[in-house]
Structure 1
């Protein structure tokens, strides 16, 4: 073995490698330094800004978050007075389930028919006046209904005629004849169209602007039409009759000749249907009430004809009114309590019962602001109730001028 060569390999060659590694480490350090400078990899600058960061723009103000996280204050319970605010005499009012003898117009004037006379009570000042007294040949008055403008009023008569009056001028504008064969007990307006329902079972659309006023006839009821109500949209008409039937009519299907143009024919009630009320906050929702042997309030989807709910009240349902400001429904009743019941919708939990009448509460009407409800009963009294409470004050929108059914009297020809 050559020991000299081996000693050389272990000593001199290792020194060369050490020198070589020093050269390589110096060059690598220079390379890494250059790389750090190039990419700004100074650790002291991690998560640091050259300048002060800009103030972030708040897309949603802090007030919003504070209002969200704060618990919403619960609405205080409304106190419902158990006694009427006012009571007036209504002598000789006709105690007939199928008639509609009271209506409250948008001008804040209440119309009430007592036998042959229609009286007007101005709620703004409490004054009463007589609008018209018809003769015995045409009377008694069997229905009243204000047009949307609160100036013109339609009056249905036992003689089958319908009179149109200008309440401001106390002037008879025209008389609609030739449509019905017997008394006209129900009326409702849709713009210039006055819809009338008679004891003959017919429902007639009358265009009050033209001489030939009958423009459509709805045929379906076999007995007297007790209730008529156009939907808020004016697209559907609900009618209830003494034949226990409830019909939903579509205005596009109306004609003078068709004998079966109803949209839905609903047979669930087991007594006469007079009480009808379209929901002001839910489209296609109608409430209906049945007479003595029925006593049920039913809720309908008039688009599908489905009965959504039925509540047995235990007594004759004479009238229904929705609260314009809350999800509540008021019903008036006959034997045996002759009460008004305020219901929470849709749970139909009783909120209050108002008593005071000694006979069935046949008629109800609501003030334009939705606060006060007027009731008239067979006990010959007219009562005013704060049933719906004072509505929240809202910024009044500009009131649009309503042309009314008679924008130009010359157009009646």
Structure 2
């Protein structure tokens, strides 16, 4: 095959350059007399001269002046962790690390937080979008439809009403809405309600925003892949969380990406440094964001700072639950092998030697978890299908103060502060939502809300504790009037 004009000479230049670099690596002294050595700048100049006069040239053979940022060496992880339920489309959920690679490039040194306000990085968000054009995350209005959409994908619109409002056996009204493409994965966290009553629900590679007060779809964040990208390579969202003031929404993907959005102004604020594995859980501490990955890494990020990473720790097991306490003085992390770890509020520094202040165990993964809003040292956890036990722990003593067997998988858990209820979402055998009252030390069931045909993966409660929102593996979104 005949090469395009100009390409042969460029390749010859590259071969000579590689030989030149190889000789330089073995050269003991910079002062050796070798008249045949030509500088890299000269090679680069020749390539661009030929490209402008004769035809297209190859890309620059070597990166110039690239410097590696200081990085933190985490433990090498060379094993894959099984998901409780694999996604319907195969995705590269994890990247196996070889050698002594860190999970993420962690910049050394601590950051001075300074007097930066939360709204100050709208401009930084524009820079993040410009620097990461391949990300393709776009805000789209609810009424906007684009020609060429896959019809099968839009047969059932998100939040479309499936049935007229009905009444459950307990006398509670329920509205059933559509949640197509909801990932049936036990370890995901795809539903959250802001302090303003805005619902965020991740469906595949989109995040839909639905106003629980007006009962209307506000819009959605969509990942538009580059043309020609195979469907199985499109990354889906694995977790999301609203900031406490309801202005920012953060979501993580199955490929380790973290995106931070200003929902009010409908713009991307930052693409945060994150993990090289699935982001399983997110939690806010005022303006500080913590994220946990499938490889057991917990990162603490301050999105206002030029270098967002301010602290990190590592656990041996994968993270599937993460939550700061109401007083922001403790962080709870749940792992896939049944450990509930409690960390103090000192998150500064990047270290793998820090240990939790207490660790509690249960026979299954600690994914469903939540701090009690009015007993701030107490935390509730739900067991998986091998366990089914609902427990409340005293994190000061590290002991279980009460428990009850639900005889079913507990997939999700939330506290309703104003009603002082504990709400749990269940899998087999009944796929129901249970409400509990807790008067120390006993747990008493109040309501059993049936309506889902598959396990209730996610729960959310509005700020007034008047409605429970549930999303199930049956791809339905239910609103329960309390």
TM-score by length of 2: 0.61
Matches within 5 A, 1:27-66: none
User: Distance in 2 between the 1:84 and 1:319 partners?
Assistant: 21
User: Distance in 1 between the 2:370 and 2:241 partners?
Assistant: 15
Q: CA deviation at 1:209?
A: 0.7
Are 1:322 and 2:411 an aligned pair?
no
Aligned position for 2:270 = 174
User: Distance in 1 between the 2:419 and 2:249 partners?
Assistant: 29
Are 1:246 and 2:340 an aligned pair?
yes
Matches within 5 A, 1:371-386: 371-386=466-481
User: Distance in 2 between the 1:149 and 1:374 partners?
Assistant: 20
Matches within 5 A, 1:330-341: 330-341=423-434
Q: CA deviation at 1:328?
A: 2.4
Aligned position for 2:208 = 119
Q: How far does the alpha carbon of each residue in 1:28-67 deviate from its partner, in whole angstroms, 9 at most, with x for none?
A: xxxxxxxxxxxxxxxxxxxxxxxxxxxxxxxxxxxxxxxx
Q: CA deviation at 1:381?
A: 0.3
User: Distance in 2 between the 1:331 and 1:207 partners?
Assistant: 31
Are 1:100 and 2:189 an aligned pair?
yes
User: Distance in 1 between the 2:172 and 2:204 partners?
Assistant: 27
Q: How far does the alpha carbon of each residue in 1:104-127 deviate from its partner, in whole angstroms, 9 at most, with x for none?
A: 001211000000000000112121
Contact in 1 for aligned 2:418/2:464 (Cα 8 Å): no
The SS at the match of 2:346 is helix
Are 1:270 and 2:402 an aligned pair?
no
Larger Rg: 1
User: Distance in 2 between the 1:246 and 1:202 partners?
Assistant: 15
Flag the 1:270–1:302 CA change in 2: closer, same or farther, 3 A.
Answer: same
Which blocks of at least 5 consecutive residues in structure 1 are unaligned? 1-78, 388-413
Contact in 1 for aligned 2:169/2:449 (Cα 8 Å): no
**Counterpart selection for 2:387 from 294, 301, 310:** 294
Q: CA deviation at 1:372?
A: 0.7
Q: How far does the alpha carbon of each residue in 1:61-100 deviate from its partner, in whole angstroms, 9 at most, with x for none?
A: xxxxxxxxxxxxxxxxxx9954543211000100101110
Are 1:199 and 2:294 an aligned pair?
yes
Aligned position for 1:73 = none
Q: CA deviation at 1:214?
A: 1.2
Flag the 1:316–1:221 CA change in 2: closer, same or farther, 3 A.
Answer: farther
Aligned position for 2:122 = none
Q: How far does the alpha carbon of each residue in 1:153-194 deviate from its partner, in whole angstroms, 9 at most, with x for none?
A: 0011112010000111110111012x3121112111111111
**Counterpart selection for 2:261 from 134, 158, 165:** 165
Are 1:152 and 2:245 an aligned pair?
no
The SS at the match of 1:252 is coil
User: Distance in 2 between the 1:130 and 1:139 partners?
Assistant: 20
The SS at the match of 2:187 is coil
Which blocks of at least 5 consecutive residues in structure 2 are unaligned? 1-167, 226-230
User: Distance in 1 between the 2:438 and 2:316 partners?
Assistant: 30
The SS at the match of 2:328 is coil
Q: CA deviation at 1:131?
A: 2.7
- Aligned residue pairs, count: 306
**Counterpart selection for 1:255 from 349, 352, 375:** 349
Contact in 2 for aligned 1:81/1:386 (Cα 8 Å): no
Q: CA deviation at 1:138?
A: 5.8
Flag the 1:106–1:218 CA change in 2: closer, same or farther, 3 A.
Answer: same
User: Distance in 1 between the 2:173 and 2:370 partners?
Assistant: 23
Contact in 2 for aligned 1:374/1:382 (Cα 8 Å): yes
User: Distance in 2 between the 1:350 and 1:221 partners?
Assistant: 36
Are 1:190 and 2:279 an aligned pair?
no
Q: How far does the alpha carbon of each residue in 1:369-392 deviate from its partner, in whole angstroms, 9 at most, with x for none?
A: 1111100000000001123xxxxx
Aligned position for 1:233 = 327
User: Distance in 2 between the 1:298 and 1:291 partners?
Assistant: 12
TM-score by length of 1: 0.71
Q: CA deviation at 1:203?
A: 1.1
Aligned position for 1:47 = none
Q: CA deviation at 1:208?
A: 0.8
Q: How far does the alpha carbon of each residue in 1:233-257 deviate from its partner, in whole angstroms, 9 at most, with x for none?
A: 0000111121211111111265311
**Counterpart selection for 1:87 from 164, 176, 182:** 176
Contact in 1 for aligned 2:311/2:347 (Cα 8 Å): no
User: Distance in 1 between the 2:170 and 2:270 partners?
Assistant: 43
Deviation >4 Å, runs of 4+: 79-84
